Amino acid sequence: MGVSMPLVNILLAEGKSEHYINSVADGVHDALMETWSIPALDRFHLIKEYKKEFFNINKKMWDIERSDDVIVFQIISSPRTKDEKLDFYKRLPEILYEKVKLRPEDVFINIVTSNKEDWSFGNGLAQLL
């Protein structure tokens, strides 16, 4: 249903290795290709590490016991179906557990919907219109 081009923000506390962070980014991309059918070259990730004292994610809300390894994934995307979102919510933690042993409880996802006119990839144009 959706147009490609999710913009992925990966937010985590400092302290993980470059290999770990790259494996997490690879895992997100794999999950998006699998569940949203995005093309392999449609990879736009912003990774931000925070000092632990500035990364305040509640450890117990919603009956979930999170650890200090929690990662927030905020994905800005053109509209997706409910099933696409639910498939992604299920598949991402599976892939990240396989790749880096990240606990499913530590995968925090937020999807923000945007429209075609909300994107310009350069040259002052709205390429999706």
What pTM did the predictor assign? 0.92
pLDDT at 127: 86
- What is the rounded CA–CA span in Å between residue 27 and residue 103? 13
Arithmetic mean of pLDDT, 48-55:
96
Neighbours of 102 (CB within 10 A): 24
Do the bridges between strand 71-77 and strand 7-13 make them parallel or antiparallel, or are there none, so unpaired?
antiparallel
pLDDT at 81: 95
Cα pseudo-dihedral 5, 41, 71, 56, rounded to 10: -50
- What is the rounded CA–CA span in Å between residue 122 and residue 119? 9
The answer on pLDDT for 109 being more than 90 is yes
The answer on pLDDT for 1 being more than 60 is no
pLDDT at 2: 46
Contact 11, 71 (CB under 8 A): yes
